[in-house]
Amino acid sequence: MTFAIVDIETTGGSAHWHKITEIAIFLHNGKQVIDSYQTLINPQRTIPANITALTGITNAMVSNAPTFEDVAEIIYEFTKDSIFVAHNVNFDYSFIKKEFEHLGVNFSRKRLCTVRLARKILSGFKSYSLGNLCAQVGIAVNDRHRAGGDAEATAKLFSLLTSNEGFIPIINSFLEKTSNEYNLPPHINRDLFDKLPDTTGVYIFYDQKGKIVYVGKAQKIKSRVFEHFSSRTHTKTKTLFLNSIHDVSCDETGSEFIALLLENELIKKHYPMYNKANKKFNLNTGLYQYIDQNGYARLSIGKSGKRDTPMLTFASQTQALEFVLNKIKEHNLCLKLSGLMPSKEKCPSEINTTQICHQVCHEATGVEVYNQRFTLAFAQSEDNKSFLLKTKGRNENENAFVMVEKGKFLGYGFIDTNESISNVSEIKNFLKPCYDTKDSQAIIDRFKKSYGVELINY
**Integer Rg of the chain from CA:** 32
Query: Over pLDDT 90: what percentage of the chain?
Result: 53
**From residue 176, how far is each of 14, 73, 179, 201, 364 by CA, in Å?**
28, 28, 5, 29, 86
pLDDT at position 356: 46
Say yes or no: domain 3-183 is CATH 3.40.250.10: no
The rounded distance, in Å, linking the Cα atoms of 208 and 416 is 37
Q: Give buried/exposed letters for 427-449 (b at 16+ CB in 10 A, else e).
A: beebeeebbbbebbbebbeebee
* pLDDT of residue 440 exceeding 80: yes
pLDDT level of residue 113 (50, 70, 90 thresholds): very high
For residue 216, count CB atoms less than 10 angstroms from its CB and return exposed for 0-12, middle for 13-18, buried for 19 or more: buried
The angle formed by the CA atoms of residues 357, 361 and 367, to the nearest 5 degrees, is: 120
Would you kindly state where each structural domain of the chain is located, as residue ranges? 3-183, 191-270, 285-377, 387-457
- DSSP element (H, E) containing 212: strand 212-218
| Reported pTM | 0.69
Q: Using one digit for the tens of pLDDT, what is the confidence trace for 323-367?
A: 888 888 888 888 888 888 776 666 655 544 444 454 555 554 578
Average model confidence (pLDDT) across the chain? 88
- Of residues 18, 87, 145, 228, which has the active-site annotation? 145
The mean per-residue pLDDT over the stretch 137-150 comes to 92
Whether 191-270 and 3-183 are alike in CATH topology: the answer is: no
Lowest average pLDDT, out of 191-195, 228-232, 402-406, goes to: 228-232
Using N-to-C axis directions, what is the helix angle for 114-121 and 147-162, rounded to 10°?
30
| Residue 102 known to be catalytic | no
| Helix ranges (DSSP H) in 163-280 | 167-175, 190-194, 221-230, 236-244, 256-270
pLDDT at position 264: 96
CATH of domain 191-270: 3.40.1440.10
Lowest average pLDDT, out of 279-293, 342-356, 433-447, goes to: 342-356
